[in-house]
């Protein structure tokens, strides 16, 4: 029960701001059902009070109603009146039904829209640590299908439950007024019908789950086969694949067919129960008509009313069992929404008034992922505004972590990072980030046109500025070659750019932002050597415009930086200018010499061979 | 094979395409008995639906006229009996619909899957995997569930409309005419609103998939968003999407909110008309109309909207499913661009009996089962005629030779091996196997002779053992383990939980890239192919694994014809011939020493690669490559 109340509380909270709409919807629903049940009352009154020709047998209620409508004699001459009445009453019921649907749909859609936007906004503000742990597919599932489940629940289930209950309750006073015996008889099988459907759906839950699983595993099979189609062909394994698919296909068919069989039993049985309820009314009513204690009009009214309220009740069991699904979806969404967001300093703090120059200082910075050994320790360096720093090191040495700390994608544990003398932790994250632009090794482009992607950082950029940036990034010509040029759509629904193209577009995007700090995190790894040096040269010409941090794993990329640090296992092992590092024995010099040794060793090997027999030359 | 290609999903067609549906109906041909029985059930249900108000009328008239008589009880029992009959028909048609729809779904999936196994790579190049998966999953579901229900409702709906009309005319034709007034507006409203509902639910679906894409983008691009401080703008863009979704959903809800009251009000008009005209008749001097019949008329009037609504809905369903039907039919109709010629097929048919008898040492296509020489003769290839990817390529290779293909990306290296594997066929020139054009050989025979290791190694869900066995399905456990040992994969396999029975996860996701590379080598080794094709991975793995992979490759290549798209220095040096490919042409060719001596492209490429590799090794503190290591 505690569980249930928590469930209701969660739903109640969700309805915040829309409760009045829901209340009005319920009111409209009550009015609508009243009128809906009034409509068949008109034929009842006419039949019993006018057409049977024995008005004196009619119940007091009927006689009074006939009087209200103008008396028996008047009605006899004006039988069009009840027709108009029926249509008007039904139309009023229809108008309120429309109102009810409109109110509830609009309340539901507003709630769902709010939930969607809250989840979206929340996800964007969660720290990177959260995304390291989470699975993308699962998050998308929660943000879409779970929200959809919630929508179905609010839009269909809440409404259906309300409708079924009200449709059940509204006619009872009317029916009691007409005939007590018939009323009791009309609801006799109702508990059985609801009980049966709830019981049934609880029992077959597993079959539904199995069918879902069988479908998922069949889909996975197709997915894998198509993703690996080259391997399938390479080994000519088509027959084998077909046999393996056939297994899943058959399994899915079996599970699905089982569901159909269960549904066949469910619908036929529950229909039989409903029809039995109706037959009961028809049989008993006929007997009471025959013995003269029931009038034909009343009989008609009961048949109509039972038909109206019995079918919705049949759905109740299914809906009640579906409530569990909504509960699960809601709690899965809550899990996301309860994740703490990135911290934000108090209002007005952490936003220096002066624009930053881009001076960066690291002092004894330390960072680790959870309880593992530190990824970075004792990191200290200073980058004066406008100068450049290169970080060299093998993969896994912590180079990118330095960038992540600087961007405050992660928070450093000890030591201090200062930006223009401001402690980074005390600055507003968004402010700090807006002072830097970073190009990552695998840059992300949004599914927009190239122009829109480039403009993201500075929406006011002129065309010429865009071209200037793309020219420096050596990507202007490649873009111009696309059929749609700068209006080419990239990303999932558009053109797939190569890794090198993406990197260059991202560099242009960063340049366009013209930030205080420019960070290139292995951002030229997919660009060929020639283009790389063209871009580096162009960047060097802009020296002094921004502080540059350049991360790479090749000496040729970093040698021109004002200062170079060599990182290994999370520590700085060497630090200095190119000239200084060349004069010191150490990793940097050994890396530098690799280049020349390669050529020299090649020569040596040739001389060694020259003593052997000269091979035939093949001229291309 | 990177080329600029985009794929657009086609729009829905508007008109019902009868030719298409006739073809689709053929897939249901196997289930004609079920569909026939389904129609029978629909007919019975319609008859019972017509009968029930009639029986009610008899009950009322009998009870009013004669009181409690045996006949009255007969009618009541009849009523209940009809209800029971109705319910058994309901059971029957759900059962039959289940057989039909799951059966059709199964057949369509089987056929579609088979077709996908035959289609050429050019088909897959332009279609995302997700798009193809949807064809075999939701499209098939949509189509297969539509067929039985459409049949049932078509029969039930039209017979019910006819039945009610007939019964009313039989009872009292004047009154019938009065009630039938509501039919035209009812039909118009149903068709009109069903169409609108279809359109708005399409909008909902489309917007929904955009919302999913938007979430996916916000999650995979979260770091970029943070770095660019795009949170607000992204949310604003998302808001416009979610507002659109809100509007589409609301429109859809409002359409049904208007539609239902209209239908119910029209129904009440029918009831009212029956009461008015019937009432006048009952009160008339020579009245023939009983109250029972009057009530039956009112019930018919209230019932009328059901079949009409259902028919309108099913026809819009049909329209909604047409796009799915089109896509499935197109998939099934697509002929593979590369397949055995008629001549090859007839040769295969002729050879099959000999092979079955074990009396033949020929290949399945009746030619010699040997690969003694492969020759590329003036081979050219292009995707677009004015942009050749490969031009007049010539090459002859004999067993024991390893051909290393080097050069910049996009130069045509991958094209050469794809042509060799007959994933594509040359537009000009020919590729000869023992002097026979490979288009005159069986595709299956040729590809069975190949062992291919792709740059990004793909494994399938299952155990390590199952994945290696993929190379040769009848391999024994001992042979599998021997293959793993040969490529130095056994060490890591032994360390896995469960060893050879370790579950590698979806697409091998539970293994590292290096481990997957070793696995795909082992798989190829087990196949023991005559021709080996290796697209070396460029992605860096740790030095130790690198060494293991290298040793594995060396063992695999010896004694076969092999083609290697080479990135590793030791593989390149060990090759018997090196082809430097650029701009679709061979620019240099020869052994390592010869090419170094020429001091041309290869020399520069090699020295650059050598420096790069050594630098990387020094940086990560691993063992260094040297010239002596060749």
Q: Does residue A585 belong to the interface with chain B, where contact is any CB pair within 8 Å?
A: no
- Short-list A597, A446, A132, CA closest to B607: A597
Choose from B5, B61, B63 for mutation: most chain A CBs within 10 A: B63
pLDDT value of residue B5: 40
Contact B49, B126 (CB under 8 A): no
CB neighbour list of residue A347: distance below 8 Å, 6 or more residues apart = none
Q: Does residue A528 belong to the interface with chain B, where contact is any CB pair within 8 Å?
A: yes
Assigned CATH topology for domain B400-425+447-620: Rossmann fold (3.40.50)
Q: In the predicted model, what is the mean pLDDT of chain B?
A: 87
- pLDDT over 50 at B278, yes or no: yes
Q: How many residues can be counted in chain B?
A: 630
Residues of A in contact with B452 (CB under 8 A): 230-231, 234-235
C-alpha B256/C-alpha A103 separation (Å) is 13
Report the DSSP beta bridge partners of residue B405: B565, B579
Q: Give the 3-state secondary structure of residue A568.
A: strand
For A71-85, A317-331, A392-406, which range has the lowest pLDDT when averaged over its residues?
Answer: A317-331
3-state helix, strand, coil in chain B (%, to 5): 65, 10, 25
The total number of structural domains in chain A stands at 2
CB neighbour list of residue B327: distance below 8 Å, 6 or more residues apart = B10, B135, B139
C-alpha B45/C-alpha B159 separation (Å) is 9
C-alpha A386/C-alpha A420 separation (Å) is 12
Report the DSSP beta bridge partners of residue A389: A549, A563
DSSP-derived secondary structure for B406-417: ES-TTSSHHHHH
Residues of A in contact with B9 (CB under 8 A): none
The residue of chain B with its CA nearest to that of A612 is B593
C-alpha B456/C-alpha A65 separation (Å) is 84
**Which of B527, B587, B608 is facing A235, going by the closest CB pair?**
B527
Q: How far is A253 from chain B (nearest CA, A)?
A: 5
Please indicate whether, in this complex, the C-beta atoms of A79 and B275 are within 8 angstroms of each other: yes
CB neighbour list of residue B505: distance below 8 Å, 6 or more residues apart = B461, B511
DSSP-derived secondary structure for B578-625: EEEEETTEEEEEE-HHHHHHHTSHHHHHHHHHHHHHHHHHHHHT-PPP
Residues of A in contact with B588 (CB under 8 A): 620
Q: Does residue A143 belong to the interface with chain B, where contact is any CB pair within 8 Å?
A: yes
- For residue A493, name the pLDDT band (cuts at 50, 70, 90): low
Contact B52, B80 (CB under 8 A): no
Same-domain status, A436 and A334: no
A372-391 average pLDDT score: 90
Q: For B172-182, where are the alpha helices, taking DSSP H only? A: 173-180
Please indicate whether, in this complex, the C-beta atoms of A275 and B589 are within 8 angstroms of each other: no
pLDDT tens sequence across B156-204? 999 999 999 999 999 999 999 999 999 999 999 999 998 899 889 889 8
pLDDT tens sequence across A525-577? 878 778 888 898 888 888 888 899 999 888 888 888 999 999 988 899 999 99
- For residue B548, name the pLDDT band (cuts at 50, 70, 90): confident
Residue B607 structure tokens: 């020295």
CB neighbour list of residue B221: distance below 8 Å, 6 or more residues apart = A444, A446
- C-alpha distances in angstroms, B238 versus A82, A320, B213, B219, B615? 54, 33, 11, 13, 46
* In-domain check, residue A287: no
Same-domain status, A393 and A331: no
pLDDT value of residue A618: 37
DSSP A155: I
C-alpha A258/C-alpha A251 separation (Å) is 11
CB neighbour list of residue A114: distance below 8 Å, 6 or more residues apart = A17
pLDDT value of residue B502: 92
Same-domain status, A119 and A173: yes
A256-278 average pLDDT score: 93
Dihedral sign, Cα of residue A437, residue A498, residue A504, residue A395:
positive
- Short-list B310, B308, B311, B306, CA closest to B53: B306
Size of interface A-B (CB pairs under 8 A): 458
How are strands ordered across the β-sheet holding A422-423? A376-383, A360-367, A414-419, A422-423
Instruction: Indicate the burial class of A494 (C-beta count within 10 angstroms; 0-12, 13-18, 19 or more).
Output: middle
- pLDDT over 50 at A615, yes or no: no
Residue A467 structure tokens: 């071209």
Same-domain status, A414 and A330: no
* In-domain check, residue A346: no
- For residue A619, name the pLDDT band (cuts at 50, 70, 90): very low
Backbone angles phi, psi at B361, to 5 degrees: -105, 20
Q: Does residue A595 belong to the interface with chain B, where contact is any CB pair within 8 Å?
A: yes
Residues of B in contact with A82 (CB under 8 A): 272, 275-276, 279
CB neighbour list of residue B387: distance below 8 Å, 6 or more residues apart = none
Contact B105, A256 (CB under 8 A): yes
pLDDT value of residue A125: 93
The residue of chain B with its CA nearest to that of A138 is B216
Q: How far is A568 from chain B (nearest CA, A)?
A: 9
pLDDT tens sequence across A430-469? 899 989 989 988 888 888 899 999 988 788 889 999 999 9
- C-alpha distances in angstroms, A156 versus A109, A164, A172, A318, B199? 12, 12, 25, 12, 20
**Which of B211, B292, B454 is facing A230, going by the closest CB pair?**
B454
Please indicate whether, in this complex, the C-beta atoms of A260 and B95 are within 8 angstroms of each other: yes
- For residue B543, name the pLDDT band (cuts at 50, 70, 90): low
Same-domain status, A553 and A474: yes
Instruction: Indicate the burial class of B142 (C-beta count within 10 angstroms; 0-12, 13-18, 19 or more).
Output: middle
C-alpha A557/C-alpha A554 separation (Å) is 6
- Pairing outcome for strands B428-433 and A414-419: unpaired
pLDDT value of residue A612: 44
pLDDT value of residue A350: 77
pLDDT value of residue A484: 86
pLDDT value of residue B629: 40
C-alpha A29/C-alpha A26 separation (Å) is 5
DSSP-derived secondary structure for B54-68: HHHHHHHHHHHHH-S
pLDDT tens sequence across A435-444? 998 998 888 8
- pLDDT over 70 at B622, yes or no: no
Report the DSSP beta bridge partners of residue B404: B564, B578
CATH superfamily of B18-333: ABC transporter type 1, transmembrane domain (1.20.1560.10)
- C-alpha distances in angstroms, A278 versus A190, A287, A295, A304? 11, 14, 17, 10
Choose from A211, A231, A298 for mutation: most chain B CBs within 10 A: A231
Residues of A in contact with B203 (CB under 8 A): none
B367-394 average pLDDT score: 87
Please indicate whether, in this complex, the C-beta atoms of B594 and A615 are within 8 angstroms of each other: yes
C-alpha A229/C-alpha A226 separation (Å) is 5
Q: Does residue A13 belong to the interface with chain B, where contact is any CB pair within 8 Å?
A: no
Contact A33, A97 (CB under 8 A): no
The residue of chain B with its CA nearest to that of A599 is B607
- For residue A292, name the pLDDT band (cuts at 50, 70, 90): confident
- Short-list A298, A303, A41, CA closest to B56: A303
B307-318 average pLDDT score: 89
Dihedral sign, Cα of residue A528, residue A530, residue A536, residue A541:
negative
C-alpha A373/C-alpha A368 separation (Å) is 6
- Short-list B615, B604, B610, CA closest to B627: B610
Please indicate whether, in this complex, the C-beta atoms of B458 and A52 are within 8 angstroms of each other: no
Q: Does residue A228 belong to the interface with chain B, where contact is any CB pair within 8 Å?
A: yes
C-alpha A431/C-alpha A600 separation (Å) is 51
C-alpha B449/C-alpha B471 separation (Å) is 11
Q: Does residue A600 belong to the interface with chain B, where contact is any CB pair within 8 Å?
A: no
Backbone angles phi, psi at B375, to 5 degrees: -130, 130
Q: How far is B318 from chain A (nearest CA, A)?
A: 21
Choose from A80, A146, A594, A612 for mutation: most chain B CBs within 10 A: A594
- For residue B42, name the pLDDT band (cuts at 50, 70, 90): very high
What dihedral do alpha carbons B361, B363, B366, B371 form, nearest 10°?
A: -110
- For residue A397, name the pLDDT band (cuts at 50, 70, 90): confident
Q: Which helix (H) or strand (E) holds A171?
A: helix A171-178
Q: How far is A6 from chain B (nearest CA, A)?
A: 28
CATH number of domain containing A30: 1.20.1560.10
Q: Which helix (H) or strand (E) holds A416?
A: strand A414-419
- C-alpha distances in angstroms, A591 versus A560, A598, B290? 15, 11, 108
* In-domain check, residue A33: yes
Domain stop point among A305, A340, A375: A340
**Which of B76, B91, B230 is facing A286, going by the closest CB pair?**
B76
* In-domain check, residue A56: yes
Residues of A in contact with B594 (CB under 8 A): 615-618
For A57-66, A81-90, A599-608, B42-51, which range has the lowest pLDDT when averaged over its residues?
Answer: A599-608
Q: Does residue A393 belong to the interface with chain B, where contact is any CB pair within 8 Å?
A: yes
**Which of A98, A430, A456 is facing B258, going by the closest CB pair?**
A98
**Which of A136, A231, A245 is facing B219, going by the closest CB pair?**
A136
Report the DSSP beta bridge partners of residue B436: B433
Cβ–Cβ contacts within 10 Å for residue A312, how many? 17
- pLDDT over 80 at B431, yes or no: yes
CATH number of domain containing A442: 3.40.50.300
Which residue is it, tokens 């897939």?
Answer: B27
Contact B73, B58 (CB under 8 A): no
Q: Give the 3-state secondary structure of residue A476.
A: helix
**Which of B272, B460, B627 is facing A605, going by the closest CB pair?**
B627
Which residue is it, tokens 């295969």?
Answer: B348
pLDDT value of residue A371: 67
Residues of B in contact with A215 (CB under 8 A): 137
* Domain coordinates in residue numbering, chain B: 18-333, 400-425+447-620
* In-domain check, residue A381: yes
Q: Does residue A8 belong to the interface with chain B, where contact is any CB pair within 8 Å?
A: no
* In-domain check, residue A294: no
Q: How far is B424 from chain A (nearest CA, A)?
A: 12
Q: Does residue A547 belong to the interface with chain B, where contact is any CB pair within 8 Å?
A: no
- pLDDT over 90 at B626, yes or no: no
Q: Give the 3-state secondary structure of residue A146.
A: helix
**Which structural domain range is residue A530 located in?**
360-601
CB neighbour list of residue A464: distance below 8 Å, 6 or more residues apart = none
Q: How many CA atoms lie within 13 A of B554 on its CB side?
A: 16
Which residue is it, tokens 């068709």?
Answer: B191
CA B164 to chain CA centroid, Å, is 44
More confident: B569 or A165: A165
Same-domain status, A379 and A493: yes
Q: How far is B230 from chain A (nearest CA, A)?
A: 8
pLDDT value of residue A617: 39
- pLDDT over 60 at B11, yes or no: no
Please indicate whether, in this complex, the C-beta atoms of B594 and A617 are within 8 angstroms of each other: yes
Q: Which helix (H) or strand (E) holds A184?
A: helix A180-186
């Amino acid at each position: 029960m505690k569980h249930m109340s928590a469930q209701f509380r969660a739903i109640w909270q969700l309805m915040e701001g829309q409760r009045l709409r829901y209340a009005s919807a319920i009111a409209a629903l009550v009015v609508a059902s009243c009128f809906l049940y009034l409509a068949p009352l008109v034929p009842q009154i006419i039949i019993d009070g006018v057409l049977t020709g024995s008005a004196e047998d009619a119940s007091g209620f009927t006689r009074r109603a006939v009087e209200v409508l103008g008396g028996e004699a008047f009605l006899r001459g004006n039988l069009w009146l009840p027709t108009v009445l029926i249509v008007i009453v039904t139309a009023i019921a229809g108008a309120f039904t429309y109102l009810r649907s409109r109110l509830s749909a609009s309340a539901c859609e507003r709630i769902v829209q709010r939930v969607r936007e809250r989840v979206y906004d929340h996800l964007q503000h969660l720290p990177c640590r959260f995304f390291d742990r989470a699975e993308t597919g699962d998050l998308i599932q929660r943000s879409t299908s779970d929200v959809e489940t919630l929508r179905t629940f609010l839009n269909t289930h809440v409404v259906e439950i309300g409708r079924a209950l009200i449709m059940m309750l509204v006619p009872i006073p009317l029916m009691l007024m007409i005939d007590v015996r018939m009323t009791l008889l009309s609801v006799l099988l109702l508990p059985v019908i609801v009980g049966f459907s709830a019981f049934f759906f609880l029992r077959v839950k597993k079959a539904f789950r199995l069918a879902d699983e069988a479908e998922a595993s069949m889909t996975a099979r197709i997915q894998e086969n198509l993703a690996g189609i080259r391997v399938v062909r390479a080994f000519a394994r088509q027959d084998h694949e077909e046999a393996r698919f056939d297994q899943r296909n058959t399994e899915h068919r079996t599970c699905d067919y089982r569901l159909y069989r269960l549904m066949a039993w469910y619908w036929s049985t529950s229909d039989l129960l409903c029809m039995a309820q109706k037959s009961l009314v028809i049989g008993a009513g006929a007997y009471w008509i025959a013995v003269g204690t029931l009038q034909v009009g009343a009989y008609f009214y009961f048949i109509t009313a039972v038909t109206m309220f019995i079918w919705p009740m049949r759905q109740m069991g299914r809906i009640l069992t579906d409530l569990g699904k909504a509960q699960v979806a809601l709690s899965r969404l809550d899990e996301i929404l309860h994740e703490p967001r990135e911290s934000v300093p108090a209002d007005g703090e952490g936003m220096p008034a002066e624009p930053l120059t881009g001076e960066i200082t690291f002092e004894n910075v330390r960072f680790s992922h959870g309880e593992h050994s530190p990824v970075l320790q004792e990191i200290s360096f200073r980058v004066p505004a406008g100068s450049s720093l290169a970080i060299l090191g093998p993969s896994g040495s912590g180079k990118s972590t330095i960038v992540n700390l600087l961007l405050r994608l992660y928070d450093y544990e000890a030591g201090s990072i200062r930006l223009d003398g401001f402690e980074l932790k005390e600055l507003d994250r968004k402010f700090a980030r807006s002072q830097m632009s970073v190009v990552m090794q695998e840059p992300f482009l949004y599914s927009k046109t190239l122009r829109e992607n480039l403009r993201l950082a500075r929406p006011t950029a002129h065309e010429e500025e865009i071209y200037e940036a793309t020219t420096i990034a050596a990507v202007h010509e490649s873009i111009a070659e696309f059929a749609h040029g700068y209006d080419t759509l990239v990303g999932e629904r558009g053109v797939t750019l190569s890794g090198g193209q993406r990197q260059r577009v991202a560099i242009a995007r960063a340049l366009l932002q013209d930030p205080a700090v420019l960070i290139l995190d292995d951002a030229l790894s997919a660009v060929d050597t020639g283009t790389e040096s063209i871009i580096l040269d162009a960047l060097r010409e802009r020296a002094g415009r921004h502080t540059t941090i350049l991360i790479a794993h090749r000496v040729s990329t970093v040698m021109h930086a004002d200062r170079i640090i060599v990182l290994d296992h999370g520590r700085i092992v060497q630090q200095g200018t190119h000239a200084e590092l060349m004069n010191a024995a150490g990793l940097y010099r050994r890396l530098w010499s690799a280049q020349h040794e390669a050529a020299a060793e090649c020569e040596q090997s040739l001389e060694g061979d020259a003593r052997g027999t000269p091979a035939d030359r093949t001229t291309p | 094979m990177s080329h600029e290609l985009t794929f657009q999903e086609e729009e829905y067609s508007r008109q019902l395409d009868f030719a298409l549906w006739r073809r689709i109906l053929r897939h249901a041909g196997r289930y004609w008995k079920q569909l026939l029985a389904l129609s029978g059930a629909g007919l019975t249900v319609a008859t019972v639906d017509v009968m029930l108000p009639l029986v009610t009328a008899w009950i009322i008239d009998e009870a009013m006229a004669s009181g409690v008589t045996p006949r009255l009880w007969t009618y009541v029992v009849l009523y209940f009996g009809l209800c029971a009959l109705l319910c058994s028909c309901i059971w029957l048609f759900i059962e039959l619909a289940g057989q039909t729809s799951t059966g059709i779904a199964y057949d369509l999936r089987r056929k579609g899957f088979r077709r996908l196994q035959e289609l050429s790579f050019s088909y897959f190049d332009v279609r995302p995997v997700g798009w193809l998966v949807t064809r075999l999953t939701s499209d098939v579901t949509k189509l297969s569930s539509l067929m039985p229900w459409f049949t049932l409702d078509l029969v039930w709906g039209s017979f019910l409309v006819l039945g009610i009309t007939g019964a009313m005319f039989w009872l009292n034709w004047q009154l019938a005419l009065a009630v039938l007034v509501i039919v035209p507006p009812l039909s118009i409203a149903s068709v009109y609103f069903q169409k609108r509902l279809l359109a708005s639910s399409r909008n909902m679906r489309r917007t929904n998939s955009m919302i999913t894409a938007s979430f996916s983008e916000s999650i995979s691009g979260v770091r970029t968003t943070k770095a660019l401080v795009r949170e607000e703008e992204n949310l604003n863009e998302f808001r416009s999407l979610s507002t659109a979704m809100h509007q589409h959903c609301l429109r859809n809800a409002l359409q049904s909110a208007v539609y239902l009251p209209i239908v119910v009000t029209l129904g009440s008009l029918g009831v009212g008309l029956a009461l008015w005209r019937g009432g006048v008749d009952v009160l008339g001097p020579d009245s023939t109309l009983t109250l029972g019949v009057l009530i039956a008329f009112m019930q018919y009037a209230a019932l009328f909207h059901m079949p009409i609504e259902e028919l309108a809905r099913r026809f819009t369903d049909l329209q909604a499913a047409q796009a799915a039907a089109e896509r499935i039919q197109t998939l099934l109709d697509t002929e593979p661009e590369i397949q055995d010629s008629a001549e090859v097929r007839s040769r295969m048919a002729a050879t099959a009996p000999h092979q079955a008898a074990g009396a033949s040492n020929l290949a399945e296509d009746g030619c010699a089962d040997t690969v003694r020489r492969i020759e590329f003769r003036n081979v050219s290839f292009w995707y677009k005629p004015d942009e050749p990817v490969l031009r007049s390529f010539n090459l002859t290779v004999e067993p024991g030779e390893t051909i290393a293909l080097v050069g910049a990306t996009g130069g045509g290296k991958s094209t050469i091996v794809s042509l060799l594997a007959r994933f594509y066929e040359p537009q000009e020139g020919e590729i000869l196997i023992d002097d026979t054009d490979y288009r005159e050989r069986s595709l299956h025979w040729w590809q069975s002779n190949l062992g291919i290791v792709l740059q990004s190694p793909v494994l399938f869900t299952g155990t390590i053992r199952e994945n290696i066995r993929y190379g040769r399905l009848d391999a024994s456990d001992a042979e599998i383990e021997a293959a793993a040992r040969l490529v130095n994969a056994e060490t890591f396999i032994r360390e896995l939980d469960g060893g050879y029975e370790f579950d590698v996860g979806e697409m091998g996701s539970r293994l590292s890239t290096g481990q997957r590379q070793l696995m795909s080598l082992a798989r190829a080794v087990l196949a023991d192919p005559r021709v080996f094709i290796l697209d070396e991975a460029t992605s860096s793995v740790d030095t130790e694994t690198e060494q293991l992979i290298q040793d594995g490759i060396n063992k695999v290549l010896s004694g076969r014809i092999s083609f290697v798209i080479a990135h590793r220095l030791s593989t390149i040096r060990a090759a018997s011939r090196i082809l430097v490919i650029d701009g679709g042409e061979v620019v240099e060719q020869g052994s390592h020493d010869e090419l170094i001596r020429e001091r041309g492209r290869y020399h520069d490429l090699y020295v650059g690669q050598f420096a790069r590799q050594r630098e990387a090794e020094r940086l990560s503190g691993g063992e260094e490559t040297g010239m002596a290591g060749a």
